[in-house]
């Protein structure tokens, strides 16, 4: 006694599943570039604080650097005045040589003295630039829109160049590294680049989802896991509803290839790549099929099927080609349409559709 189900073909979009942790696109360690005492800290410069690009997070005592800048500016003005005097003397020296015989030397025209004064002006300008930069560096600014994840200094802390002040993560884009087994790439278009991704995670006791997109492959096979990583991006993760926090563990479903005229059925009924069918005389007929994918309890196959073909869905003991079969009452199906509409969102663990539920979803692959 066997049970049978109709062979129903459909268009199907495969899915490839993975997992990963949400990380920021950029992680920046904030460090002091000048020495001095912390005189002011922003209220947003705390763990969990959101900052905008250019916000002043901390201020170092700037009085010494203001004095250095004033000295540099004074030196520049003095050098510029000396240069003007030297230029005037060069004019006088040229006039003195006019009407005389012979060629004047560079020294007699004061060219070396002029070059020296010009060099002094350039050096003074460089000192002003350096002093201006040092003064600006007394203000530690956010490099981009970000989230403060740590602060390591307080009011009155003395810092030197290179002292770590804290850590900030960028919040414009989140990334998720998704490990993909080598045998799964065949189910992705273009090795997954540009594929749409649905990220899922448990948030506050309920499942939440976010849409992402594969933007690059890391291009190497990991030595330990033998996986290749694809990187998915989500824009403005902290503006999502619900928000997508850094550090969250997520599962991922990547949109794969579109298949036409395939059949989703229980994997256990296949015998050496052949599908057991019931012919019109109620005899067993094994038909060779192309097994595209096996995942869990289901298989996705393609073959040359007729509109009245029915496959044997119950277990067969010692099956022999052409053997006479007895069909369980109520399971033999009348002729049905060959195709179902495309089902892009089919899940892998849903039951194989039967004649009473022609639009049930099958294996996504």
Note whether residue 350 is domain-resident: no
Average pLDDT score over residue span 310-327: 84
Query: In the prediction, which pLDDT does 282 show?
Result: 87
| Sign (positive or negative) of CA dihedral 38, 42, 46, 51 | negative
CATH number of the domain residue 166 falls in:
2.40.50.100
pLDDT score, position 337: 42
Angle, helices 63-97/111-136, rounded to nearest 10 degrees:
160
**Stretch 335-355: mean pLDDT:** 44
Is 250 part of a structural domain of the chain?
A: yes
pLDDT digits (tens, 9 = 90+) for 233-275: 999 999 999 999 999 999 999 999 999 989 998 988 888 889 9
pLDDT at 97: 78
For residues 311 and 340, what is the distance between their CA atoms, to the nearest angstrom?
Answer: 17
Residue 358 domain-assigned (yes or no): no
Of 355 and 19, the one with more pLDDT: 19
Statement to judge: residues 114 and 211 lie in one domain: no
In the predicted model, what is the mean pLDDT of residues 77-84?
Answer: 94
Give me 291's structure tokens.
């097994």
> Does residue 247 share a domain with residue 199?
yes
Q: Tell whether 338 is covered by a domain.
A: yes
Closest to 266 measured CA to CA, from 203, 327, 215, 312: 312
What average pLDDT does range 185-210 have in this prediction?
93
Predicted TM-score (pTM) above 0.95:
no
194 and 119 within one domain: no
Query: Do the beta carbons of residue 263 and residue 255 sit within 8 Å?
Result: no
pLDDT for the residue 352: 36
- Look at residue 340 and tell me whether its pLDDT is greater than 80: no
Q: Do residues 196 and 213 lie in contact, with contact meaning Cβ atoms separated by under 8 Å?
A: yes
- What pLDDT score was predicted for residue 124? 96
Task: Find tokens 């369980």 and name the residue.
Answer: 328
pLDDT over 60 at 317, yes or no: yes
For residues 95 and 160, membership in a common domain is answered with: no
User: Taking the alpha carbons of 232, 236, 242, 247 in that order, is the dihedral positive or negative?
Assistant: positive
What is the share, in percent, of the chain residues with pLDDT greater than 70? 89
In a domain, 356, yes or no: no
Residues 195 and 76 both lie in one domain: no
Reported confidence tier of residue 306, pLDDT bands at 50, 70, 90: confident
* 353, part of any domain: no
Return the CATH number at 331: 2.40.420
pLDDT per position as a tens digit, 17-53: 999 999 999 999 999 999 999 999 999 999 999 999 9
Quote the pLDDT of residue 356. Answer: 32
Task: Quote the CA–CA distance of 150 and 202 in Å, as a whole number.
Answer: 26
> 179, 18 in Cβ contact below 8 A?
yes
Q: Do 69 and 160 have their domain in common?
A: no
Cα dihedral: 291, 293, 295, 300 (round 10): -60
Helix (H, G, I), strand (E, B), or coil: what is residue 125? helix
pLDDT of 295 strictly over 90? no
Shared domain check, 56 and 144: yes
pLDDT at 185 exceeding the cut of 50: yes
| Lookup: tokens for 42 | 């922003």
The three-state secondary structure class of 331 is coil
Per-residue pLDDT at 280 exceeds 60 = yes
> Which residue matches tokens 């099927």?
305
The residue assigned the tokens 């459909």 is 10
User: Are 83 and 212 in a shared domain?
Assistant: no
Q: Does residue 351 lie within any of the structural domains?
A: no
The verdict on 272 and 160 lying in the same domain is: no
Collapsing DSSP to helix, strand or coil, 317 comes out as coil
**What are the angstrom distances between the C-alpha of 64 and each of 34, 138, 160, 242?**
11, 10, 14, 48
Q: How does pLDDT run across 1-22, given as a tens digit for each residue?
A: 888 888 888 899 999 999 999 9
Which domain, by its residues, includes 68? 64-136
Question: Is residue 363 in a domain?
Answer: no
Residues 53, 145: one domain? yes
Task: Give the pLDDT of residue 322.
Answer: 85
Q: What is the mean pLDDT of residues 187-205?
A: 93
Instruction: Give dist(CA 243, CA 65) in Å, integer.
Output: 43
Q: Please, what is the average pLDDT of the chain?
A: 87
Neighbours of 292 (CB within 10 A): 18
Whether 266 and 334 share a structural domain: yes
- 181 and 152 within one domain: no
Count structural domains, the chain: 4
Paired strand residues for 280? none
DSSP letter at 236 equals S
CATH number of 184's domain: 2.40.30.170
């Amino acid at each position: 006694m066997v049970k049978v189900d109709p062979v129903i073909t459909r268009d199907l979009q495969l899915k490839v599943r993975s997992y990963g942790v949400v990380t920021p696109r950029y992680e920046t360690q904030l460090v002091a570039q000048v020495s001095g005492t912390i005189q002011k800290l922003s209220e947003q410069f705390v763990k969990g604080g959101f900052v905008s690009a250019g916000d002043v997070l901390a201020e170092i005592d700037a009085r010494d650097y203001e004095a250095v800048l004033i000295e540099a500016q004074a030196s520049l003005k003095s050098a510029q005045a000396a240069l003007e005097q030297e230029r005037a003397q060069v004019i006088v020296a040229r006039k003195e040589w006019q009407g005389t015989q012979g060629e004047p030397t560079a020294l007699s025209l004061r060219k070396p003295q002029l070059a020296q004064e010009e060099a002094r002006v350039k050096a003074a300008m460089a000192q002003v630039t350096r002093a201006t930069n040092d003064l600006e560096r007394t203000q530690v600014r956010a490099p981009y829109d970000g989230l403060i994840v740590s602060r390591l200094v307080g009011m009155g802390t003395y810092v030197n160049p290179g002292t770590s002040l804290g850590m900030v993560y960028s919040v414009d884009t989140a990334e998720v590294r998704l490990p993909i087994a080598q045998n799964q790439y065949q189910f992705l278009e273009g090795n997954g680049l540009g594929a749409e991704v649905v990220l899922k995670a448990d948030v506050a006791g309920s499942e939440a989802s976010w849409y992402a997109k594969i933007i690059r492959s890391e291009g190497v096979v990991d030595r330990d896991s033998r996986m290749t990583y694809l990187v998915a991006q989500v824009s403005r993760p902290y503006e999502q509803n619900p928000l997508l926090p850094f550090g969250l563990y997520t599962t991922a479903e990547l949109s794969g290839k579109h298949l036409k005229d395939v059949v989703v059925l229980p994997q256990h009924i296949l015998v050496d790549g052949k599908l057991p069918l019931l012919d019109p005389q109620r005899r067993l007929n094994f038909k060779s099929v192309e097994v595209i994918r096996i995942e869990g309890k289901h298989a996705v196959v393609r073959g040359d099927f007729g509109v009245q073909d029915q496959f044997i869905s119950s277990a067969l003991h010692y099956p022999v080609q052409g053997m006479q079969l007895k069909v369980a009452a109520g399971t033999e199906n009348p002729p049905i349409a060959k195709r179902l509409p495309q089902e892009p969102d089919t899940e892998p663990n849903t039951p194989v559709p039967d004649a009473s539920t022609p639009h049930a979803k099958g294996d996504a692959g």
